[in-house]
Chains A and B, each alone.
Chain A
Amino acid sequence: MHLEIHFTAESIVIPSCSLPSKEVGALVEFHGIVRELEDNKALPGLFYEAYEPMARRVLKRHLLELGTLHPCQAVHFIHRTGWVPVGEASLYICVMSAHRGEALRFLADSIDRLKLDVPIWKRTTRPSKD
Chain B
Amino acid sequence: MEITLLAFAASSDSFGFSSRKVSCSADDTPLTIVQRIAPEVNISSLRVALDCEFVTWETPIADARELAFIPPVSGG
Contact = CB atoms under 8 A, between A and B. Distances in A.
Interface of A: 32, 48-51, 53-55, 57-58, 79, 90-91, 111, 114-123, 127, 130
Given A51-B8, A54-B68, A115 B73 contact: yes
B68 A121 contact: no
Contact of B74 (A111, A122, A130): A122
Contacts of A114: 75-76
Interface size class of B (residues with CB under 8 A): 20 to 34
B9 interface: yes
B38 interface: no
The 5 closest A-B pairs by CB, nearest first: A120-B75, A121-B9, A54-B52, A122-B74, A121-B74
Interface string B17-43: 111000000000000000000000000
Given A51-B6, A127-B12, A57 B75 contact: no
Contacts of B60: none
Nearest to A127: B12
B49 A121 contact: no
Contacts of A118: 73, 75
A55 B8 CA distance: 12
A54 B71 CA distance: 14
Contacts of B73: 115-121
Contacts of B71: 121
A121 B70 CA distance: 10
Interface string B33-76: 00000000000000101001110000000000000101101111
| Residue of A53, A118, A130 most packed against chain B (CB within 10 A) | A130
Contact of A121 (B6, B47, B52, B75): B75
Nearest to A46: B74
Nearest to B12: A127
A49 B9 CA distance: 7
Contacts of B10: 121, 123
Nearest to A52: B52
